[in-house]
Amino acid sequence: MTDVKQQAEAVADVRRDQMLAAAARLIAERGFSDTRIADVAARVGASPALVIYYFGTKDSLLTEALRWSERSFYAAVEEMLQETTALRARIENLVDACLPASQDVPDDWGLWFDLWAQAFRHPEVKKDRAQLDDQWRALIARVVEAGEAAGEIEAPDVEGFTVMWAALLDGLVVQVALDDPVVDRGMAKRVALAVAVKELGLS
Amino acid sequence: MTDVKQQAEAVADVRRDQMLAAAARLIAERGFSDTRIADVAARVGASPALVIYYFGTKDSLLTEALRWSERSFYAAVEEMLQETTALRARIENLVDACLPASQDVPDDWGLWFDLWAQAFRHPEVKKDRAQLDDQWRALIARVVEAGEAAGEIEAPDVEGFTVMWAALLDGLVVQVALDDPVVDRGMAKRVALAVAVKELGLS
DNA sequence: GCCCATAGACTGAACAGTCAGTCAGGACCA
DNA sequence: TGGTCCTGACTGACTGTTCAGTCTATGGGC
């Protein structure tokens, strides 16, 4: 592969990334089916035809954007996790990742709903989501096991806890994202933390 | 209000209900934005114009269908609950209501995702959903309190449990609905039940 | 160093299909 | 006769996708 080719691919890759990012943003803001390729094109300063040139079809662009966005989220969490070692701090970090501080990226949550709706009906998206969710649970499991290895907790039921707690976080995110008047951000965090502490036998 | 008027309304109400049911079914099968008024009309053996005649706009029909469907679900659960009195049996009933046996209405779940996605962006739907979710939690709370009154459990943290367990069920439903290879129906039920038993201090 | 062929990036304009919603009027009933 | 229920035919707007062709630059042949 020559330098030229590399550079050409770099341009294309940059463009693709811009478009995926723009599409993800728009999906979050307006919803999957209300996102037009013209909107995406406008955001990256290109013509609609160029978007098709890169992605072939609208659907391909949007589903790729969903997966791209989900992958970004997990990557960010993974990185965030490097910064702490204490079990409790890490658990708190995970909670914060799912339920970020107030006005911080409020409509990113909309993406999850669209992702789920798409995954429900499209096997490819479904497969991808399942795989990423598995990674997510594996990450939680690693955190717990590290805590055990460090002697912070004893003999946890890693798999049981992982499945339960991951589901709990999802459910809490739903409530908070939908502005449930009872389950606000603060309560959701408290609940998630309390359950983790209790189930893991943390001090 | 005359008999005539009453009868006329009865006809209209029947039609409306047929249309709402058909719309709900279609949304579950194909998704909110892929549901056409022509499809709904075809299912009830009417013309698209008649659907508009009753609901004015497509959006009005579909969002009403979502709310109608959610209301039906809670009503069904409420009724199902009358049939048992023992706390554990009731808890199991609640779990079964959310995670019904195998092939039983497999695509009804799709509705939840669309409902959430709509609620996220449309205040009216959001308000409705929050209210119904509050009812749902109140129902769980009633079950727990009845169990306490009957001496089956002691001094439960009703609100804490309610919020936590409702969220947990939501999260588990997501996994199961999306065919997660790790979290299948059986595991989801076990997890939901185990958490309830442990948190409530059931035998 | 010049020229030309080739490929990739990109666009404007047009096309084609889809659908929500309109409208004028028909049928039935009290 | 008037009101409710209902329809077929139509339309107007939207928008994904195609296409023919432009522009740029790279790289090889001379």
Model confidence at A104, pLDDT cuts 50, 70, 90, reads low
Select from A32, A178, A185, A199 the residue whose CB has the most chain B CBs within 10 Å, as the one to mutate to test that interface: A178
**What tokens were used for B24?**
């709900």
Q: Looking at beta carbons, which residues of chain B come within 8 Å of A110? A: 117, 120-121
Two tokens, residue B7: 């009868």
Give the pLDDT of residue B8. 43
Q: What is the pLDDT of residue B103?
A: 64
pLDDT of residue B9: 57
- pLDDT for B79: 92
Cα torsion through B78, B84, B89, B93, rounded to 10: -30
From chain B, the residues in CB contact with A195 under 8 A are 164
pLDDT recorded at residue A3: 38
Asked whether residue A194 carries a pLDDT value surpassing 80, the answer given is yes
CB B74 within 8 A of CB B135: yes
Asked if A31 contacts B117 with a C-beta cutoff of 8 angstroms, the reply is yes
| Separation in Å: C20 C1' and A118 CA | 24
Could you tell me how many residues make up chain B? 203
Position B6 scores a pLDDT of: 45
Listed in sequence order, the residues at least 6 apart from B71 whose beta carbon sits closer than 8 Å to its beta carbon are B132
For residues A90 and A81, what is the distance between their CA atoms, to the nearest angstrom? 7
Q: Taking CB atoms and an 8 Å limit, are B171 and A175 in contact across chains?
A: no
> Is the CB of B9 within 7 Å of strand D?
yes
CB B182, CB A131: distance < 8 Å:
no
Residues B154, B142: Cα–Cα separation, whole Å: 14
Q: Which residues of chain B have pLDDT under 50?
A: 1-8
> Which tokens belong to A113?
């709903």
B67-126 confidence digits (pLDDT tens):
999 999 999 999 999 999 999 999 999 999 999 776 665 678 999 999 999 999 999 999
Nearest to A130 among B114, B166, B178 (CB): B178
Give mean pLDDT, residues A174-178.
Answer: 96
Number of domains in chain A: 1
What sign does the CA torsion over B90, B202, A172, A178 have?
positive
* DSSP string for residues in B93-160: HHHHHHS--TTSSGGGHHHHHHHHHHHHH-HHHHHHHHHHHHHHHHHHHHHHHHHHHTTSS-S--HHH
Per-residue pLDDT tens digits for A26-63: 999 999 999 999 999 999 999 999 999 999 999 999 99
Share of chain A above pLDDT 70, in %: 93
Average pLDDT over residues A62-84: 93
Where on strand C do bases come within 7 A of a protein Cβ?
8-13, 19-24, 30
Mean residue pLDDT of chain A comes to 92
Distance between first and last Cα of chain A: 56
Task: Please determine, for residue A105, whether its predicted confidence score (pLDDT) is greater than 90.
Answer: no
**For position B7, what pLDDT does the model report?**
46
Enter the tokens of residue A184: 């606000």
**CATH label of the domain that carries residue A67:** 1.10.357.10
Q: What pLDDT score does A9 carry?
A: 55
Question: Could you tell me the sign of the dihedral formed by the alpha carbons of A112, A132, B174, B69, in that order?
Answer: positive
Q: What is the DSSP code (8-state) at residue A153?
A: S
Using an 8 Å CB-CB cutoff, list chain B residues near A170. Answer: 170-171, 174-175
Position B170: which residue type? D
**What range does the domain containing B181 cover?**
3-200
Give the distance, in angstroms, between residue A154 CA and nucleotide C4 C1'. 75
Please say if the pLDDT value at position A1 is more than 50: no
Task: Please state, as a whole number, how many other Cβ atoms lie within 10 Å of the Cβ of residue A146.
Answer: 15
